Each structure stands twice: as C-alpha cells, then as structure tokens.
A and B are shown apart, each in its own frame.
Chain A
Amino acid sequence: MLHTEIAIIGGGPAGMCAAIAAANQGARVTLFDRGKRLGGQLVKQTHRFFGSEKEYAGIRGIDIAKILYEEIEKNKLIDVKLDTTVLAIYSDGVISYEEGKSYKRMTSEKTIIAAGAAEKMLLFENNDLPGVYGAGAVQTLMNEHGIVPGNNVLMIGAGNIGLIVSYQLMQAGVKVAAIIDAAPKVGGYLVHASKVRRLGVPILTSHTIKTALGNETVEGAVICEVDDKFNPIPNTDQTIDVDIICLAVGLSPQGELLRQTGCEVKYVPSLGGFVPLRDENLQTTTNGVYVAGDSAEVEEASSAMVEGTIAGLSAAEALGYGTNIVAIKEGFKNDLDVLRSGAVGEKIKSGLKLLSC
C-alpha cells in the first residue's frame, strides 16, 4: 500500500496552505482534490479579497489560487492528486480513493481534512424546477466556463455569497431583479450591499420565497414578507418575473470523512452545523487527524488559509520536522485572532468556544 507522511484532503485555500506550510518544514505531503485543478472555491472568486496583506488582501481570489498553486508546483515534497475523490477513511487509518478511474488505498502518519462545505437547500414549492440554482453552480458556470445561466435572476440570500454573486451576474450582463433575505438585516458585508445597490438592485430584507413559477423551467417566483419569527405575513405576496432563482442560503461543513475517523462533533449553528471539536493546533479528538477551513467552521477564505497553515505546521511538528515551529505558529494564531477580533468575528469566536478540547 502507498504511504505518505501527511495526507491533505481538499485542495482549496485551507488545504493548499496546509500543504505549503507542512512541506516547507520538510514533511512529505499528498494533497488530494476531486477537481481537475487546485484552488477550490478560489478559482471562481473574481472579486478582491478582504483581510490583510498576509492573507493577500486586495488580490482577487482567482489570482490567490494561482499564487498558491505556483508555490505548490515548485515544492518537490508535495504530491498533488487531482481528479481524485477520497472515498473513506477506515478505523485503521487506511484512506481509500478513486484516482481517475482506479481505486487505490494509502496510509498516512497524519491527516488534514480540508474538504470545505456544501451549499444548503431551501424548502419551497417547485424548488426542483430547472432554473433553480445554487450560487456555487452559477459561479462555476459564469466564472469558470463563461456561460451565463439566464437573463433575469432572483437571488435568495443577502449574505456575502448572495451579494457577491449578484454583483458578478451584473458584471456578466445578467439582470438581478432583487436580492431577498428572510433576516431583518443584510448578513453580508455592507460594502458589498452598497455595491449592488448602486447598480440598481433592490435588497428586500424580511422577505422569503414561497413558490417558483413555471411549467418546464422557472418563469417567475412568488415572494412575501415575513415577521420577526419568519412567518409569512398574509396579503404581502408579490410575483416577480425571473428565469433564474439562485440560492445563497448558507453552507454546511463537509463532515463525512471527519466522522469516519471517529472524532467528536457538535452541532453549532453559528459555525454552519456539525463541526469537530479541536485543540489549538486544530487537531480533532482523533489522534493525528486535523481539520482546517470550512470543514472546521464556515468562515472567510482568509481565515481558512491561516487555519490551513496552522494545521500544516502542527502536523509537520508532530512528525518531528522543523525548528522554532512553536513561535511561527504563534504568529499565525495571532493573525487568526486578529481577523476574528471585530464584530463580524464575534459569531465565530463564540461558536469556537464550544469546541475546544
């Protein structure tokens, strides 16, 4: 059976940074990703990132993916397995995966799970009509393949993803009829909200979708106002003509592989759902299994990159690599604290308090 020192599952911002950090300390790394190229969600992010210079602030996500990829490519200690889906992690630590069309197995000394998150679905009548998209799918179509999904969009969700994808749709020449959100406030950064408002896109808070209209495909939607308990308010129905309904209603951490390792998880709504307990090195309750990025808690790519770096350094350190890793790690832990120190980070920090082990 094949063997690696550190197996990293997921080649998005967290996994890429974990691989770079561990290999820079001298550890041999295998980086798995089911996609045909590395980068995860970064390859669809055409907007400039927030954060500080250390997290590539002011640079577009697509360009950050390139920077990280170039670093990985020149590091001989990192073996990248693309088009490879990790299928299972067994109790004896064997990782099974499908590489291209062949089934293979590998063991590792340490494993970092950076599998990201999955989009949440929303219940409403006719939500299976063609034309109802997840925001990630819209981004993949537009920003990776250059295909516009339709002509006129109703965006459900005024979090950062809903706001950013609305802006990107407008850039692609697609009309956004409205952005609606059941919450009474805009959930995303207000600068993003102001950006789409300037383009003439209304944001309707305290609104939800009741029905998608249409026979073969989406031809419209019925929306209505909700009260502060999210109950629809009678006689507030409104029909909007759209051919696309785009859902940006949150993400759930991908926890399947984590659970297979037997680690303890907890349901923390503010972090996106079931998430693993972890120590300050991001090691879960399963010895040698680490977590980073959206699999650990749904947050920004900037913190996913820092978490990946901390997990990579910790795994390398546990294998006896590197000198002075403690001090280096302290620097990154401090960066993470700083990113989370504002009002927006409060939600994450209070959730994380429930997970220390």
Chain B
Amino acid sequence: MFNKTGLASNDMVEALLPSKERREKGAYAIFECFQEIPCNPCSTVCKLKAVKDFENINNIPEINYDKCTGCAMCVSICPGLSCFVIDETYSDSEVMIKMPYEFLPLPEINSNVKALDREGKAIGEAKVLKVQDNKTLDHTNIVTISVPKEIFLDVRNIGLEEK
C-alpha cells in the first residue's frame, strides 16, 4: 500500500520507535525513511555518530538510540524531510515534536495551529513552542510543537489559518 499512497501505516511508524525505556528518557529522532534510495546526509551530519555508518549509500538509516539526543541536526538536512524529533516526556498530557517546515509565513510562537496528520487532515490542535530559522538551517526551518499524547504518532505537519 505504501508505494501506492505514500502514507506510512501505523505499524511502520511504531516499528521505528526506540525501546520503552529510551522513550521515557527524553527526546529522540525518528526517520520515516522506508525506501532504499542513494542518500546519506543524516549519517554524515550527525556529530554524535548516532546514525549507524552506511555500508551502502542506499541503506535505510538506523539510529543508535544510546547516542541520539534528539538534537535535530538531521531534521533540517534530510532532503526527504523525513526526520522528526519526538519528546514524550514533555508533559503528562502532551508530547513535543520537532518537524521540518519549508513554508511561509512561519507560525508565531505560542500560537495554536492545526495539527495535521500524514494526509494533511486536521486531527487536533498543536501549540507552537519554538521556531528556528537560522542560516545554518538554509530555509528548512524547524518548528517545535506540543500535541496531545494520543495523537503524537500521527501529527506530521501543521496548518496555519489562511489570512
């Protein structure tokens, strides 16, 4: 199905998650990169060597969660915009997500925006915690949001009210 729709299934996403213990420790990256394509910037950009070395450039990246700190260097370098950072320890009821964002205008900090799923459908509300748009990010800005715990596995985009 995935190669027909471009939509990752819940099983595919859940299989990416680190162990329960690691998830309880704080922020971690996940790569929604399911197809072998010749690409490796996630591995070369990672200063912590948390992305295992590629034997072949077509390999699907693998994260060593003992080393990953959720720093989000991979989020803006990934040409496929497939890297996200998740922090399930953000609060009792909310999860923090860092996502790549290449649209203008940028959302305002502390504003509430629509939480969109992999199909672009609004499935709840997200709060914008942080917007990074520095030069190093080279226009692939990073937006940090918090969303209700129940929907964190599905939220992968935000929708701003059209003005």
Contact = CB atoms under 8 A, between A and B. Distances in A.
A329 interface: no
A344 B118 contact: no
A193 interface: yes
Interface of chain B: mostly helix, strand, loop or mixed: loop
A270 interface: no
Interface in A294-348: 300, 302, 338-345
A315 B115 CA distance: 55
Interface string B46-76: 0000000000111000000000000000000
Interface stretch (A43-51, A76-84, A121-129, A258-266): A43-51
Nearest to A46: B139
B121 A339 contact: no
A190 interface: yes
Interface in B15-31: none
A182 to B, nearest CB: 13
Interface stretch (B35-43, B89-97, B126-134, B141-149): B35-43
A48 B79 contact: yes
Interface of B: 2-8, 32-41, 44-45, 56-58, 77-82, 102-103, 116-121, 138-140, 156-157
Given A197-B7, A342-B37, 13 more contacts: A53-B41, A53-B44, A170-B103, A185-B3, A186-B6, A189-B35, A192-B80, A193-B5, A194-B32, A339-B38, A342-B58, A344-B38, A345-B58
Interface of A: 47-53, 57-58, 60, 170-171, 184-186, 189-201, 203, 205, 300, 302, 338-345
30 contacts: A47-B79, A48-B79, A50-B37, A50-B80, A51-B38, A51-B57, A52-B38, A53-B41, A57-B40, A57-B41, A57-B44, A58-B44, A185-B4, A191-B35, A191-B37, A194-B8, A194-B32, A197-B6, A198-B156, A199-B120, A199-B157, A200-B119, A201-B120, A338-B38, A338-B57, A342-B37, A342-B58, A343-B35, A343-B36, A344-B35
